[in-house]
Amino acid sequence: MQILGSIPELSHLPSPVFLAIGVFDGVHLGHQAVISTSAKHARAVNGTPVVVT
């Protein structure tokens, strides 16, 4: 896991980047589904999953 401080830092990540964007104030079942789906799609194409909160 990496913690990035700004959007421009995303350009340094391996492409394609799959973003899960939301207010993840607590990772309940709905949030887990969004994040895991994004990660699954990223893995399928050797991409990078990213969560923006």
Query: Within 13 Å and on the Cβ side, how many CA atoms surround 38?
Result: 18
Structure token pair of residue 47: 């991409």
Q: What would the pLDDT profile of 23-51 be if each residue is shown by its tens digit?
A: 988 889 999 999 999 999 999 999 999 99
Q: Does residue 47 contact residue 17 with C-beta atoms inside 8 Å?
A: yes
Residue 2's pLDDT band (cuts 50, 70, 90) = confident
Distance CA 49, CA 11 (A): 13
Burial class (CB in 10 A: 0-12, 13-18, 19+), 28: exposed
Q: What is the pLDDT at residue 47?
A: 95
Return the bridge partners of 51, or none.
Answer: 20
